[in-house]
Amino acid sequence: MANKKFDFNKSLTDLNETDLKARIQEDELRLKKLEFAHAISPLENPMSIRALRKDLARLKTALKKKALGV
């Protein structure tokens, strides 16, 4: 699992700010859809919501770092 997170973070360094913003919007929409589907009927894997939230946080952190120039 730690390897997956490392690969995800490494792939974020290759993206520019506009790509990060687009990916954040896509993931936020996907999260809303997942949460709505889960409210109607339980998901087969509800941990996917948590994983998506964490990925979204990583995306937002990467965007902030790029904006600050770190």
The span from the CA of 35 to the CA of 55, in Å, is 15
Q: pLDDT digit string (tens) for 22-46?
A: 999 999 999 999 999 999 999 899 9
The span from the CA of 66 to the CA of 33, in Å, is 28
Helix (H) or strand (E) holding 33: helix 17-40
Statement: the pTM of the whole predicted model exceeds 0.85: no
Nearest CA among 46, 59, 47, 52 for reference residue 19: 59
Q: pLDDT digit string (tens) for 1-23?
A: 566 666 777 778 788 899 999 99
